[in-house]
Chain A
Amino acid sequence: EVQLVQSGAEVKKPGESLKISCKGSGYSFTSYWIGWVRQMPGKGLEWMGIIYPGDSDTRYSPSFQGQVTISADKSISTAYLQWSSLKASDTAMYYCARLPDIAVADYYFDYWGQGTLVTVSS
């Protein structure tokens, strides 16, 4: 069974750093792109970027380039989303999601994590 299990909710202060995680299981982690999606409170979905854990090839949305870093550690089947200096406007639910097998070369998110709620408040 394919599963993406995300790290737990975080409460941080502005200016602090943070790294949240997404652990994949039930499939070959290195063969599937993983993406991150933001959902601010009461709002819609925003695509942040994707990473291919096999070689760490990464694509960012211009809206998030330079604001976050997406990475992966294929040895532990885990993708990450990190901030070096959080702002109150980073308060949101963050989802990781998987693309189909790279051999198929299809582009859509087939499996989703449960979400990590990040709250940034002084």
Chain B
Amino acid sequence: DIVMTQTPLSSPVTLGQPASISCRSSQSLVHSDGNTYLSWLQQRPGQPPRLLIYKISNRFSGVPDRFSGSGAGTDFTLKISRVEAEDVGVYYCMQATQFPWTFGQGTKVEIK
């Protein structure tokens, strides 16, 4: 199985300041079709997960542009340019390049 490792596991951030989460996979996430199926999900407290970013850097419909994704191969990053109160929650990366699909362990973003 592909292991997804996120850092940090906890990220206290000041409102209006940036935040960055790293996700590293144990092997390349480049699919045989040439795409890289790395997505980012947000889970607010008491809510189901919500898709933020798909295929490394594509923002899903309705996602604010303060969220951005980047990376390639085995190293990926989610950035929040200016953290707002509604961004509090746990963020997961997920790979769907190879079965079984796997998630990172989650990064908790909280306000300082």
Residues of A within 8 A of B (CB): 35, 37, 44-47, 59, 61-63, 95, 97, 105-115
Contacts of A35 on B, CB cut-off 8 Å? 101
Count, A-B residue pairs, CB within 8 A: 64
**Which of B1-46 touch A at CB < 8 Å?**
1, 31, 33, 35, 37, 39, 41, 43
Interface of A is mostly: loop
Contacts of B43 on A, CB cut-off 8 Å? 45
Interface of B is mostly: loop
Q: How large is the interface on B (under 10, 10 to 19, 20 to 34, 35 or more residues)?
A: 20 to 34
Residues of B within 8 A of A (CB): 1, 31, 33, 35, 37, 39, 41, 43, 48-51, 54-55, 60, 90, 92, 94, 96-97, 99-106
Distance between B46 CB and nearest chain A CB, rounded to angstroms: 10
